Amino acid sequence: MSELWEGLTQAFWLVVTLDADLVGITLRSLRVTLTALILASAIALPLAAFLAVRRFRMRRLTIAVLNALMGLPPVVVGLIVYVFLSRAGPLGVLGLLFTPTAMVIAQVIIIVPLIASVAHQSLRELWAEYHDLLISMNTTQTQRIATLLWDGRRALLTAALAGFGRGIGEVGAIMIVGGNIDQVTRVLTTAIALETGKGNFALALGLGFVLIALAVAVNLAIHWLSRTETEGRW
């Protein structure tokens, strides 16, 4: 119990004094996960809308696989990305292993299925509502997808935030592909794992509280910016 209190105190002082290491680690966490989130959303959201609008033979199977991949174990993703990016692997010439880019790649793979599944769920309902209207207006498929994405933006925001949550709290994959190098690839979660290993529970907890606060702050900021829960449905 005393450790929890010590952790809170440490977190408080780290934040108040703007500890240089903490700021660096936190910004790196944000940079990696936000980059991964942007890339993953750019892939997953159009994919979700496409799956809602278009009927094709393998559609059900694709959706089922996507849902199953939501539970993709990060440590396995990390291992696979590692094997690909290692100098001995097929993409070794790029020299990406143990760089922030490698961490972004791993996180994109982890969060694309999650964002796509959650987004597809809500877009499907929206499509049921819009179906007759959009068909009668003789819209093209691209126009239908664009309409769904725009009118469903609030629900898509929730999907993206779920992806952010999974990315920012993830440790298994980025530990393997990033290597937890000080000042280069050390982020909040890997720093927590490291400090726990040293038996510095208070500092590890302090970093943990910072991580939680960061996740809450990002969510609040996005909700505030997009003014959800303040006006009508959209």
Partner 1 sequence: MLKWFASAAFALALGSAAMAEDLKMAVTTSFHNSGLAEVLLPEIKKDTGIDLQLLVVGTGQALRLGEAGDVDAILVHAKAAEEKFVAAGHGTHRTEIMYNDFVIIGPKADPASISGAGSAAAALQMIEGAEAPFVSRGDDSGTHKKELSLWKGAGVTPEGAWYKAVGAGMGSALNTASGMNAYILSDRASWLNFGNKGDLALLYAGDPVLFNQYAYIPVNPEKHAHVKSDLAMQLEAWLVSDRAKELIDGYRLSAEQLFTYNAKSE
The residue ranges that bind partner 1 (CB under 8 A) are 35, 38-39, 42, 86-89, 92, 95, 97-101, 104, 179-182, 184, 194, 196-201
The burial of 24, by beta-carbon neighbours within 10 Å (0-12 exposed, 13-18 middle, 19 or more buried), is given as middle
- Give every CB contact of residue 49 below 8 A, 6+ residues apart in sequence: 119, 123, 144, 145, 148, 149, 152
Q: Which is closer to partner 1, CB of 42 or CB of 68?
A: 42
- Residue 86 C-beta: closest distance to partner 1, Å: 5
- Find where tokens 């990696």 sit: 32
Instruction: CB nearer to partner 1: give 28 or 63.
Output: 28
Residue 112 beta carbon to partner 1: minimum distance, rounded to whole angstroms: 14
What Cα–Cα distance (Å) separates residue 90 from each residue in 27, 82, 87, 94, 96? 31, 11, 8, 9, 12
- How many other β-carbons are positioned within 10 Å of the β-carbon of residue 194? 17
d(CA 12, CA 20): 14
Least distance in Å: CB of 89 to partner 1?
8
Q: How far is the CB of 154 from partner 1 (least distance, A)?
A: 18
Name the residue nearer to partner 1 (CB basis): 63 or 98.
98
Which residue, 53 or 108, is less far from partner 1 as judged by CB?
108
Structure tokens at 231: 């006006």
In this structure, what token pair is assigned to residue 127? 């499509």
Of 63 and 207, nearer to partner 1 (C-beta) is 207
Q: How far is the CB of 135 from partner 1 (least distance, A)?
A: 27
In the bound complex, what is the minimum distance in angstroms from residue 218's beta carbon to partner 1? 17
Q: Which is nearer to partner 1, 63 or 189 (CB)?
A: 189
In the chain the first and final C-alpha atoms are separated, in Å, by: 45
User: How far apart, in whole angstroms, are the C-alpha atoms of residue 139 and residue 114?
Assistant: 29
CA distance 158 to 219: 9
